[in-house]
Amino acid sequence: MKKAYIFPGQGAQFAGMGKALYETNPKARQLMEDANDILGFRITDIMFEGSDAQLKETAVTQPAIFIHSAALALSMEGFAPDMAAGHSLGEFSALAATGAMDFASALKLVSIRASLMQKCCETVPGGMAAIIGLDNEKVEDICSSITGTVIPANYNCDGQLVISGEKEAIEEACAKLKEAGAKRALPLAVSGAFHSPLMEPARVELGKAIEVTEFHTPCCPVYQNVSAKAEADPTVIKANLLAQLTSPVRWTQSVKQMLEDGAEAFTELGPGAVLQGLVKRISGAIGKTVLIEGMQ
């Protein structure tokens, strides 16, 4: 049975995340303490006891989810995936779990990425909206017809897509998408236009950090958001990881490719269960019966 391990992105966080893992798994506890030292503050205190407001701060959310997911994978007995993937931020977790980066290097990149994205959101206003019940092609066509910047950002599953860009362009696109038959076109309560060209200032700075980070061949192929293809070449992985910041997350396409390549069991590692639901919808839509489970 081919096993795929998948890692969640921003939005999966919750108060108390990782606490049980910390208390019961010595290796995970050491990795979490290492993370506190690397970041220079006790992020585990926020993960275990922090408020929802604290956990929603991008500079906290992204490292917290990475720490939870990566520590779980790296401390897991019998972790032997045939393939792996992560949704947005989760791609960093997938790369650390499969040995493409060491834990410390990946955490440093995640922390830099989070800070740059938060800064970009403060200086380059933008937004995102969820579009439900419309074909991807129709959403793409309407976005391309808008004068301002608005693009598909997250292909979550068939009929569920998130668009991202300038606020006025988002509003115009939402109106046109509703006219075109979308069941819902709902602006999201996010701080910026993630996975859009508005993140370009963050991409430039993140590129400097990625360039000096050592990457290795992962223990199994990693299906990256940008290409939705199995990647193992460290040079390609680095380029795709950087491009991800201003490009769409092709999650639907990635899962379909994993299924085509023989994935029979999907295990989500980290907080929440969002990806389990998405995989269930994607696999069901193409008539595939697969084992889907989660570990926290």
Catalytic residue annotation: 88, 195
SS3 184: strand
Question: Could you tell me if 252 and 156 are in contact, meaning their C-beta atoms sit under 8 angstroms apart?
Answer: yes
Helix, strand and coil in the chain, % to nearest 5 = 50, 15, 30
Residue 127: what are its φ and ψ, rounded to 5°? -160, -175
Token pair, residue 227, equals: 């290409």
Tally of CB atoms within 10 A around 26: 9
Where does residue 265 fall: left (phi above 0), alpha (psi -120 to 50 degrees), or beta otherwise? Answer: beta
Q: Which long-range contacts (CB under 8 A, 24 or more apart) does 44-47 make?
A: 44/18, 47/16, 47/17, 47/18, 47/19
In sign, the C-alpha dihedral spanning 140, 142, 145, 149 is negative
Three-state secondary structure along 240-284? Answer: HHHHHHHCCECHHHHHHHHHHCCEEEEEEECCCCHHHHHHHHHHH
Largest alpha-carbon pair distance within the chain? 55
**Using CA atoms, how far apart are residues 21 and 214, in angstroms rounded to an integer?**
28
Non-local CB neighbours of 45 within 8 Å, separated by 6+ positions = none
